[in-house]
């Protein structure tokens, strides 16, 4: 599932290619995504000029020249790929945008958990939600410490809660908890100020390194040019149950926490 580094990689790659391009046609082959595609989705995009694509949380956010905003969430298996003009549509190519430079931008999503919307700029915050972006400067150790007080949930569940912090998912939360030396099951309310400092530092470091490596390609993820990322090669705990910790050689443990696979080193994490 694409998380912040994967979505950021797509935005950084596509933004300079798409900025200023006009959408000359839209083909919709499937409207049954996580939220059904609006009946006037194509009509609201055709003829519009694209502004600079950016990212907030796990959403791709592209302003249009009529004041609306094109929003994309890739769900579990969504891909947005920029390609040449003449191509055969593949199964699961649900939406295709034709651009005025004869290239096409294709939304492909086998599991259809993604979401595509054209919204008024004032509606974006409602859809994206209240969570602070994981790379936002306002997400400090003090903020995390304050948000974790009195919380009965685990540290892992708090970090993955998109209403609190937007952009993190299972891969990067497992990895940053390892770097911060915090076990995923630790009660959020029991995090110390020092823990919060290490968690926020680890969050920035892991996300920055992952973006520099083009994200993690575990199964489906590809960037906007159909290229895989390579940060999965750097994973220390994620999906490594039973394998030796890269720091201390203790076997990594795999457990299920609130329905999600969780991985930690019992020696490096407390
Ligand atoms: Zn270890």
270 C-alpha to ligand 1 centroid (Å) = 11
Residue 1's alpha-carbon distances to 5, 130, 169, 259, in angstroms, are: 11, 21, 8, 15
pLDDT tens digits for range 90-131: 899 999 999 999 999 999 999 999 999 999 999 999 999 999
> Of the residues 22, 49, 246, 260, which is catalytic?
260
Which stretches within the chain are classed as H helix?
4-18, 41-45, 124-128, 141-148, 155-160, 170-180, 193-212
221 C-alpha to ligand 1 centroid (Å) = 28
Q: What are phi and psi of 195, to 5 degrees?
A: -60, -45
Could you give the CA distance from residue 255 to residue 65 in angstroms, rounded to a whole number? 48
251 C-alpha to ligand 1 centroid (Å) = 8
Other C-beta atoms lying within 10 Å of the C-beta of residue 257: 19
Other C-beta atoms lying within 10 Å of the C-beta of residue 91: 9
14 Cβ contact partners less than 8 Å away, ≥ 6 residues apart: 53, 80, 82, 105, 224
Could you give the CA distance from residue 56 to residue 174 in angstroms, rounded to a whole number? 21
Confidence category of residue 89, pLDDT binned at 50, 70, 90: confident
Q: How many helices (H) and strands (E) does the chain have?
A: 7, 12
First and final C-alpha spacing in the chain: 27
Which pLDDT does position 199 carry in this prediction?
A: 98
Confidence category of residue 164, pLDDT binned at 50, 70, 90: very high
pLDDT tens digits for range 44-80: 999 999 999 999 999 999 999 999 999 999 999 999 9
Which pLDDT does position 219 carry in this prediction?
A: 80
Could you give the CA distance from residue 237 to residue 202 in angstroms, rounded to a whole number? 14
Active site residue 156: no
The pLDDT of residue 87 is above 80: no
102 C-alpha to ligand 1 centroid (Å) = 51
0.75 exceeded by pTM: yes
Active site residue 204: no
> Of the residues 58, 115, 147, 198, which is catalytic?
58
Please give the mean pLDDT across all residues of the chain: 96
Which pLDDT does position 173 carry in this prediction?
A: 98
pLDDT tens digits for range 172-186: 999 999 999 999 999
Comparing C-alpha atoms, which of 107, 119, 80 is closest to residue 223? 80
Confidence category of residue 85, pLDDT binned at 50, 70, 90: confident
Share of the chain above pLDDT 70, in %: 100
141 C-alpha to ligand 1 centroid (Å) = 24
Pairing of strands 253-257, 104-108: unpaired
pLDDT tens digits for range 205-240: 999 999 999 999 988 899 999 999 999 999 999 999
174 C-alpha to ligand 1 centroid (Å) = 13
**What secondary structure letter does DSSP report for 267?**
T
Which pLDDT does position 79 carry in this prediction?
A: 96
Which pLDDT does position 41 carry in this prediction?
A: 98
97 C-alpha to ligand 1 centroid (Å) = 47
- Decide if 170 contacts 257 (C-beta within 8 A): no
Which pLDDT does position 86 carry in this prediction?
A: 64
Active site residue 233: no
Active site residue 58: yes
Q: For residue 25, count CB atoms less than 10 angstroms from its CB and return exposed for 0-12, middle for 13-18, buried for 19 or more.
A: middle
């Amino acid at each position: 599932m694409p998380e912040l580094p994967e979505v950021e990689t797509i935005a950084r790659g596509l933004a300079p290619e798409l900025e200023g391009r006009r959408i000359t046609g839209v083909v919709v082959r499937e409207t049954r995504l996580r939220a059904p595609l609006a009946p006037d989705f194509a009509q609201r995009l055709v003829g519009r000029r694209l502004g600079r694509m950016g990212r907030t949380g796990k959403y791709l956010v592209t302003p249009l020249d009529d004041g609306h905003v094109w929003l994309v969430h890739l769900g579990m298996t969504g891909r947005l790929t920029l390609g040449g003009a003449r191509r055969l549509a593949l199964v699961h190519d649900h939406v295709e945008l034709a651009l005025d430079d004869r290239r096409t931008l294709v939304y492909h999503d086998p599991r259809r958990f993604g979401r595509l919307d054209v919204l008024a700029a004032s509606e974006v915050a409602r859809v994206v939600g209240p969570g602070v972006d994981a790379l936002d400067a306002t997400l400090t150790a003090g903020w995390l410490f304050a948000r974790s007080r009195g919380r009965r949930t685990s540290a892992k569940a708090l970090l993955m809660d998109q209403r609190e912090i937007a952009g993190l998912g299972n891969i990067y939360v497992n990895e940053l908890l390892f770097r911060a030396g915090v076990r995923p099951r630790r009660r959020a309310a029991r995090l110390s100020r020092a823990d919060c400092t290490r968690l926020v530092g680890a969050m920035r470091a892991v996300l920055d390194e992952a973006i520099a490596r083009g994200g993690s390609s575990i199964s489906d993820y590809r960037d906007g040019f159909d290229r895989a990322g390579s940060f999965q090669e750097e994973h220390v705990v994620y999906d490594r149950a039973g394998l030796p910790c890269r720091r201390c050689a203790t076997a990594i443990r795999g457990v299920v926490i609130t329905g999600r696979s969780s991985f930690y080193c019992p020696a490096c994490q407390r």
